[in-house]
Copies of this chain bind each other. A is one copy, B any other.
Amino acid sequence: MVQGSSSAEHGGPPPGARAQLLDTASAIMREGDVIDISLSELSLRSGLNSALVKYYFGNKAGLLKALLDRDWQAIVTSVDALLAKDGWSPEAKLRRHLWKVVDTFYEVPYLNRLTMRMVRESDDTEARRIADCYLSPIYRAYEELIGDGVRAGVFREIDPQLFYFTVTGAVDRFFSARLVLKHCFDQDTLTEELRDRYREHTIDIIMAGILAR
Contacts and interface: CB of A to CB of B under 8 A. Distances in A.
Given A169-B169, A174-B165, A205 B209 contact: yes
A119 B165 contact: no
Interface stretch (A49-57, A75-83, A84-92, A127-135): A127-135
A179 B2 CA distance: 37
A165 B173 contact: yes
A155 to B, nearest CB: 11
Given A209-B208, A209-B209, A135 B184 contact: yes
B205 A166 contact: yes
A180 B120 CA distance: 10
Nearest to A158: B205
Interface string A168-200: 111111101101100111000000000001100
A210 interface: yes
A127 B206 CA distance: 32
A18 interface: no
A55 to B, nearest CB: 31
A116 B33 CA distance: 11
A65 interface: no
A136 B184 CA distance: 6
A158 B166 CA distance: 18
What are the 3 closest A-B residue pairs judged by CB atoms, nearest first?
A169-B173, A209-B209, A131-B183
Given A131-B183, A166-B202, A169-B171, 20 more contacts: A112-B173, A116-B176, A119-B180, A130-B183, A131-B184, A135-B180, A136-B184, A158-B201, A158-B205, A162-B201, A162-B202, A165-B173, A165-B174, A168-B173, A169-B170, A169-B173, A169-B174, A170-B173, A173-B173, A208-B208
